[in-house]
Amino acid sequence: MRWNGVIQKYRSYLPFDEDVQIISLNEGNTPLIKADRLAEIIAPKANLQLYLKYEGLNPTGSFKDRGMTAAITQAVHEGAKTVICASTGNTAASAAAYAARAGLRCLVLVPEGKIALGKLAASLAYGAEVISIDGSFDDGLDMVREIVERQPIALVNSVNPWRLEGQKTGAFEIIDQLDGRSPDWHCLPVGNAGNISAYWMGYKQYDKGRPRILGGQAAGSAPIVTGKVVEKPETIATAIRIGNPARWRQALEALDESGGIITAVTDDDILASWNLLAKTEGVFVEPASATGIAALKQQIEMGAIDPTNKTAVCILTGHGLKDPGTAVAQATDPHTLPATIEALEKYLAGS
Ligand SMILES: *Cc1c(COP(=O)(O)O)cnc(C)c1O
C-alpha cells in the first residue's frame, strides 16, 4: 500500500472528525535501524538489541512533522487562517511547511541567535514570518499562549493536544516495525516534554506492551531532573534548550507509570554520542538527537540499566543537516594536497 502519512495510516487511533481534509507531506514511516556496532560499544558482550528510530528523515527533517500534520489538519478544519508557535527551530520549520501546504499565514517566534542555521533557512524558505525575540524559548511560549487568547490565531506548539495525537504514531510505528512487540527501553531527548508524553500515550493506547522510558536532558537545561525551573538554560543541543517544559507534568507521569528514568548528560557526553553515532553507524543527527544514546550509555555505565538481552530504541529526533554550524565547528579542517596522483599516493602511504 502507498504511504500517505501518519493520519491516514493510523486514522482509527486518532480523534479526527469524519470529514477533515488531511494536510500531509507523507511524514512518518521512518526507518528503525539496527545498530549492532554501537550496541557493542555502549554495552559490550551484553547482546543488547539496539535500534535507532531515524526521525530526521521526516519531510522537514525532524519528528515535529508527525504532530504538525495533525495540528494543521485540525486548525484548517476549525477554520484557522493564521497559525503561530514559539520554537527552538524544528517546530518553526515544520509549522512553516505544513502551513504553506495548507495556504495559511504562519508566524514563528525564535530565541535570538540560538536557532540552528538549517532550521532558520528552512522556515524562511517555506515563507513563514520569522520573528526573533530577545528572550528564550520559554519567553516566546508565554507570548504565543497569550496572543492566541486575544487574536483569532491557532497555536501549534505541543501545548496543542493535536500535536501529541500526531506524535504518538511514532510509538505505533516502532511496535509495528518490531513485529508487534514493545522494546524494553525507549530512550529520547526531553526538551518541552511533548514527545516523551506523546510516546507514552501511544504505547498505552496501542496496548501491545510498554517499554520503560529513559529521558535525557542536557545538564545545563535539566529542569525535570533537578525539579526546578532553569531561568537561563544553556546547551549546545539547542532543540532541548528549554527551562520550563510545558508538558512537565505528563513527562513525570510517563516516567512514573513506565518505571522510567530521567537523567542529565553533559554537552561533552552529547557530542561524544553524536560523534559515535555518525562514525560507527553512519547516521548523522543534530546534537540534541544524540541525547537519548548518551543517556542510555550513562545509565548502563552506572549500572542503573542492565542491557543484557534487552531491546532498546533510541529516538533520533532531527537530521544532522539541521545544525551544520555545530558539525563544522566539531570537524577538523580537510587535508589539502596538490592535484596530482603522486601527492595522493604519498598521502595514502601516510607520509
Ligand atoms: C523538539 C525537539 C526535541 C525535544 O522534544 P520535546 O517534545 O520538546 O521534548 C528534541 N530533539 C529535537 C531535534 C527536537 O526538534
Q: pTM score, two decimals?
A: 0.96
CA of 237 to the centre of ligand 1 (A): 10
Whether 155 maps to a domain, the answer reads yes
Look at residue 46 and tell me if it is in a domain.
yes
Mutate to test the pocket of ligand 1, among 195, 291, 315, 319 (most ligand atoms within 8 A of CB): 195
Range of 76's domain?
Answer: 64-160
pLDDT in tens, 125-151: 999 999 999 998 999 999 999 999 999
Among 113, 135, 160, give the residue marking a domain's end: 160
Both 278 and 179 in a single domain? Answer: yes
**Domain match, 56 and 92 both:** no
Q: Are residues 156 and 241 in the same domain?
A: no
C-alpha cell, 310: 534487552
Q: Do 172 and 39 share a structural domain?
A: yes
The pLDDT value recorded for residue 351 is: 65
Q: Cβ–Cβ contacts within 10 Å for residue 332, how many?
A: 5
CA 317 to ligand 1 centroid distance, Å: 6
Distance CA 328, CA 84 (A): 31
CB burial class (10 A; 0-12, 13-18, 19+) of residue 33?
Answer: middle
Expressed in angstroms and rounded, the spacing between residue 196 Cα and the centre of ligand 1 is 9
Domains identified in the chain, total number: 2
Both 32 and 85 in one domain: the answer is: no
Q: Does 243 lie in the same domain as 167?
A: yes
Residue 347 maps to a domain: no
Final residue belonging to a domain, choices 145, 160, 175: 160
| pLDDT tens for the 351 residues of the chain, in order | 799 999 999 999 999 999 999 999 999 999 999 999 999 999 999 999 999 999 999 999 999 999 999 999 999 999 999 999 999 899 999 999 999 999 999 999 998 887 888 898 999 999 999 999 999 899 999 999 999 999 999 999 989 999 999 999 999 999 999 999 999 999 999 999 999 999 999 999 999 999 999 999 999 999 999 999 999 999 999 999 999 999 999 999 999 999 999 999 999 999 999 999 999 999 999 999 999 999 999 999 999 999 999 999 999 999 999 998 899 898 888 899 999 999 999 999 986
- Give 311's strand partners: 49
- Answer whether residue 334 is part of any domain: no
